[in-house]
Amino acid sequence: MTSLKSKYIKISNPVPHVLLLELNRKPVNAFNTEFWKEYGCTFDALSTNPDDIRAVVLSSAFPKYFTAGLDFQGFMQLGSNDVTMDPARRAFLTRDLILDIQRAVAAPERCPIPVIAAVHGSVIGMGIDIISACDVRYAASDTKFSIKALDMGLAADVGTLAYLPKITGNHSLARELAYTGRTFSSDDAEKLGLVSRVVEGGREAVVAAALQLAKDIASKSPVAVTGTKHLLLHARDHSVAENLQYTATWNSAALQAADLGQALRAGMTKSKESPQFLPLRPKL
C-alpha cells in the first residue's frame, strides 16, 4: 500500500488504512544518528504520502525492548573532542544537535494522522520522549519505564520534561520519577496518565489492542479526525478563547466536506455499514 521505505523501521499494512511501524534496530532499538533521523523523516513523509493512511500504530519488533534509548555512541556526540574549540562554539554545535534530535522525536505530533504507541518490554530514556509525542499510548502489562537521563548526569532534554506536565495529570508522580530516574511499571504509567490503557500480556496483546483502536479511528471521516488532532494540539498550547476562535475558522472550511452529509445519513438510517469516506488527499 505504501511507498515508505526504512532501514530500521518495519512498515506494514495489517488492516486497511492503518500502518504498523515497528522499531527494528538490533539488538535493543538503541537510537544512533541514522536511526533518529530516519524515524523523523518517516513520520514527516506521512504528512504528504499519497496513500490513504488514516491511523498509525508505533511499536517494536523486539518483544523485550521497545527501545533502550539513545545509543551510547550517539550520546557521546553531544560533546566535542576538539580541544581547540572554545566553549561557546562547542555549545552552539551541541545545541544544534539537541534541537535536531528534538525535532525528529516530535515528528508524530507534526503528522496529521493519529499515532498510537503500543509499548512493551523496556521503555528507557528516549523511549519516553518518543511515546510522549504520540496521540494515544497503550502499554503491555510487562512494560518497564525509566527516565534515564538523570542517571547519566543531565536533565532529559529531548521531550520528556516538556511533555509530561502537558499530557499527564499527576505532577507529583511525574516529578518523583523525573528526579529519581527509577524504573516504573505500566500500572505506575497509567496512574501518572502517561498511558490510557494497560493491556494484559506482552507485545502481541498490546499491538492487537492498538490495531483495533486504529481500525476504529480509520473508519471515521479523515477530515474530521485530522481536524480533531490539529485542534486538540492547538487547545493544549492556547487559551480557551483563542482555541474557540481558531476552531470556528477551521470548521468554516471543514463543514463543506461531503463527509458531514455521509455521516449524518448513516446515523439517521441507523445503517450497520460505516460510510465510505474519500481519502483526505484524493489522487488526481
Question: Tell me: the pLDDT tens digits for 109-122?
Answer: 999 999 999 999 99
Instruction: Tell me how far apart the alpha carbons of residues 22 and 10 are, in angstroms, rounded to a whole number.
Output: 5
C-alpha grid cell, residue 235: 487547545
Q: Which domain holds residue 156?
A: 9-218
- Which of helix, strand or coil describes residue 209? helix
**For residue 8, which amino acid is it?**
Y
184 and 247 both lie in a single domain? no
Lowest mean pLDDT among 5-14, 77-86, 161-170, 255-264: 77-86
pLDDT by residue (tens digit) across 29-59? 999 999 999 999 999 999 888 889 999 999 9
**Number of folded domains that form the chain:** 2
CATH number at residue 52: 3.90.226.10
Whether 277 is in a domain gets the answer no
157 and 72 both lie in a single domain? yes
What does the pLDDT read at residue 255? 87
- Average pLDDT rounded to a whole number, residues 123-127: 94
- Average pLDDT rounded to a whole number, residues 76-83: 57
Question: Average pLDDT, whole number, for the chain?
Answer: 91
**For residue 177, which amino acid is it?**
L
State pTM to two decimals: 0.92
112 and 213 both lie in a single domain? yes
CATH number at residue 257: 1.10.12.10
37 and 54 both lie in a single domain? yes
201 and 230 both lie in a single domain? no
What does the pLDDT read at residue 109? 97
Whether 2 is in a domain gets the answer no
